Amino acid sequence: MIQLIDIEKVYRTKTIETVALHRVNLHVERGEFVSIMGPSGCGKSTLLNIMGLLDEPTSGHVAIDGQPVKTHSDSKLAKLRNEKIGFVFQSYHLIYDLSVVDNVELPLLYRNVSGSDRRKRALEALEKVGLSARTKHFPNQLSGGQRQRVAIARALAGNPEIILADEPTGNLDSVMGEEIMDILLRLNQEEGTTIVMVTHDENMALKTNRLIRFFDGQQVADSRVLEAQI
């Protein structure tokens, strides 16, 4: 589904060069729920950005469904992000001037989808995350857990094959974190959505079916590789 081949990411300023990712090779299969763990600054979010086509590697290749994306134009990359990938962020990234349902509709605005169809799909997505009663509310009228559920609904509205979640429970207490994790697990198990989640929470990570650990920009452990070795 997502293939990263020899990925290097180096940030350069006038005085310093920082290696964020070093020779990362990773293949995420369709239907997997992968969690990525590691200390702050080890390159997890950079990896997620590269997987989500939001950032370009300094060297190496990214392929989605076997198709390399290096030569894709800006609009083609945008189309891929829109149709194949859904994002969930730690800080939700909701638009506070739009209602819940309008926030959820956002990805569909960039497709040729009619207004009524957009609304229907947004409401369906909100139902999946249990927020049908809050469609007309604005984000500042919701709790943190509810906001994150709106963000998940927004990711689901476009019916993506992949969800990339960057510390989705990072700003939530344990109860709300569990709720969000349950939603993601359900999506993965019932709808077969491929999920890649960056997390600091070991308990959450252990619920996924593959755990990858990063340290200093390098992949140091992969549970699937370990299982294979055992």
Partner 1 sequence: MIRHLFKLIWNQKKSNFLLITEIFFSFLVLFAVLSFGIYNYHNYTKPLGFTYDNVWQLWLNPQTDSTAHNLAVQRELIQRVKSFPEVEHASLSNSNTPFAFSQMNNNLSYGGKKDIQANVFNVQADYQKVLGLEVSQGRWFGPQDKASLHKPIVINQKLKEELFGDEEAIGKLLPINDSSQYAVIGVIDHYRSYSEFDPEEAAYFECINLDEEKSYFWNGLVMKVKPGAGVAFEEKMVRELSRIAKDWTIEVTTLEKMRQSKAKMTTVPMVALGLVCGFLVFNVALGLFGVLWYNINRRYAEIGLRRAIGASSKQIRNQFVGEVLVIATFGLLLGLLLAVQFPLLQVFQLSSAIYWESIAAAAFLIFLLATICAIYPSYQASKIYPAVALHEE
Residues that bind partner 1 (CB under 8 A): 45-46, 49, 52, 54-55, 74-75, 78-79, 81-83, 86-87, 89, 91, 93, 95, 97-98, 102, 106-107, 109-111, 115, 154, 158
Nearer to partner 1 (CB atom), residue 110 or residue 215:
110
Nearer to partner 1 (CB atom), residue 38 or residue 160:
160
33-37, strands of its sheet edge to edge: 85-89, 162-166, 194-198, 33-37, 210-215, 218-222
Nearer to partner 1 (CB atom), residue 32 or residue 166:
166
Q: Phi and psi for 168 in degrees, rounded to 5?
A: -65, -20
Nearer to partner 1 (CB atom), residue 5 or residue 80:
80
For 5, how many CA atoms within 13 A lie in the half-sphere containing its CB? Answer: 11
State the minimum distance, in angstroms, from the CB of residue 105 to partner 1. Answer: 8
What is the C-alpha separation between 227 and 57, in angstroms, rounded?
Answer: 29
Structure-token pair, residue 194:
């491929």
Instruction: Give the amino acid at 87.
Output: F
State the minimum distance, in angstroms, from the CB of residue 118 to partner 1. Answer: 10
State the minimum distance, in angstroms, from the CB of residue 68 to partner 1. Answer: 19
| Sequence-separated (6 or more) residues with CB below 8 Å from residue 14 | none
Number of H helices, E strands in the chain: 8, 10
Nearer to partner 1 (CB atom), residue 90 or residue 222:
90
State the minimum distance, in angstroms, from the CB of residue 171 to partner 1. Answer: 11
The single-letter DSSP state of residue 55 is S
State the minimum distance, in angstroms, from the CB of residue 159 to partner 1. Answer: 12
Structure-token pair, residue 50:
């590269």
